[in-house]
Structures are given as structure tokens and as C-alpha cells.
Amino acid sequence: MLPKIGKYPFKAEAFRCNMLGYLPYQQMGNYMLDAADLHANERDFGMTYLMPRNLAWVLSRFSVEFTTMPRPAEPFTIETWVESTMRLFTSRNFRVTSGDHVCGYGRSVWAMIDTATRQPANILAVRDGEMTQWVDATIECPIDPPAKFRFTQQQRLVRTLETRFSDADINGHINSMRYIEHVLNLFNPEWHREHFVRRLDVSYMVESHCGDVLNFYLEESADAIGVRVTKNAAGTPDEADACRCRILI
């Protein structure tokens, strides 16, 4: 039997690093999603098993807390494991290391949906709940659980953009890490030079599609920055929450 924890090697390719010389959160996040995908597929509850059964994992929460990010050409390792599994949600954690150094940790919450009806599916019904055998709640993930920014009426619209072909990923939806990229792009290089984002919390609500318009609302509190991202489906005036982020610096 495979170990409960999966361990995957990656490398911070030079041309994926930002102008400050480190791998940005959206790139690290895509590597983390890849590690999750590999871990789940190797243990037979990944997309390879689910897709032919009209089931899919949907990312609901993604929280990351890093003290450093890999630099150009730096090899690093992503470890990932399942912390808990219930009927409607499962929690998966991450630890990212470079040599002996821990760069950061991640927590994610996933739902399962029926891809035909888009309705929630019962995770424990897959292979009679076999997924529970992979749960390990004893492995340490020393960062706070996913948290939300408390938005008030003070939020202000700071950007509107139309999503394009490269914003969508293999699922046909706007890639979950692209939201993070667009959110971090609300801040200019001088801001990034002065602030290293130490923690990001993202709650994903409704999926967007290529052509949808995204609106970014920003609000600052004493200790955090909140960004609410809404979408207008192509050609409609109706605004729905696509995701909400909390940024700690």
C-alpha cells in the first residue's frame, strides 16, 4: 500500500519566477494542484477514476502561508495528504520544502460534484468510502484553518476585466490560480517590492467561463486586505460572487 502522504519534486523554472526573483503564489498554487492530482490519481480517487463516472473535484477553499518562495532553478518538494473526509467536503493539506527548509504550508477544501447536474455528490459513496483509508489527521499543518475577510460597505471597485482564452484551464473554467494572479496584479511592482504576501485565503463560489467579465472590489482593514471578485456572465448584467480573498502581509 502507498503511504498516506505523497511527495513530489518540482523545480522553480526561471521564467516562471517574477521580477523580484521568486516563484509567485499563482505558480506555486498550480504546482500544488498538480501534486494533489498526482496524489489522488495514484490512490484511485483522482480525476482519472472520477471523470468517466461524471464526477469531479471542485476546489472550495485554498489557504497558503509561506515564509519564503523558491528562487529561479531552485528544486523544491510538495508533500500532500488528506486530513479529513466527510460526505460533502474533504480537506487536503500541503507542505512545501526546499532542502531542509520549510517554505510554507497550504490547506484546501474540496467538494465533489456530479458533472452532468452540477449538484454536490456524496464523497463517501465513491468505492464505498474507500477514500477514508487515506485520511491522516496526525500530520502537522501548523497554519490556521481557512479564514475569510469580513467585507463591509467600504469595498471599492478597482478593476474590471474580460476573461480570455488563456484564463481557462482543462476544466473549461477560469483557472482557480488565475484569480490569484489577477488579484495580485491589482498591486504594482513597488507594492510587491515592499510587501511579501505571507498568507492568502481564497473561497471559491461560482465558476466563471472564458468571456465572463470579472469585477475586483478591494477593501482594507487594520490587519488584512480583502478582494471580492464578482463575475458577469458574458452579455449579462447579473453579478455573482466568483471568489473572495483575504491577503495578509
Q: Which of 26, 63, 91, 108 binds its own copies (CB under 8 A)?
A: 26
Task: Give the C-alpha separation, 228 to 100, whole Å.
Answer: 37
Q: Which amino acid is at 214?
A: L
Stretch that binds its own copies, among 100-108, 117-125, 127-135, 160-168 (CB under 8 A): 160-168
Residue 40 and residue 121: Cα distance in Å, rounded?
17
Distance of CA 118 to the CA centre of its chain: 20
Rounded least distance, CB 53 to its own copies, Å: 18
Under the criterion CB under 8 A, does residue 235 sit at the interface with its own copies? no
> Is residue 72 near its own copies by the rule CB under 8 A?
yes
Burial of 188 (0-12, 13-18, 19+ CB in 10 A): exposed
> From the list 4, 5, 7, 34, which residue makes contact with its own copies (rule: CB under 8 A)?
34
Q: Which is nearer to its own copies, 10 or 149 (CB)?
A: 10
Record the cell numbers describing residue 11, joined without a space.
523545480
Question: CB atoms < 10 A from the CB of 113, how many?
Answer: 17
CA–CA dist 7, 23 (Å, integer):
19
Q: Which of 113, 169, 233, 241 binds its own copies (CB under 8 A)?
A: 169
| By CB under 8 A, residue 166 contacts its own copies | yes
Q: Residues binding its own copies: what is the number (CB under 8 A)?
A: 36
17 contributes a contact to its own copies by CB under 8 A: yes
Residue from 165, 222, 223, 237 in contact with its own copies (CB under 8 A): 165
- List the one residue from 124, 147, 210, 248 that touches its own copies (CB under 8 A): 210
Strand ranges (DSSP E) for the chain? 6-11, 55-66, 75-85, 90-98, 101-114, 156-162, 199-204, 213-220, 225-232, 239-248
Is 208 strand, coil or helix? coil
The answer to whether 18 contacts its own copies (rule: CB under 8 A) is: yes
Residues within the interface to its own copies (CB under 8 A): 13-19, 21, 24, 26, 30-31, 33-34, 37, 72-73, 164-166, 168-172, 175, 177, 181, 184-185, 187-189, 192, 210-211
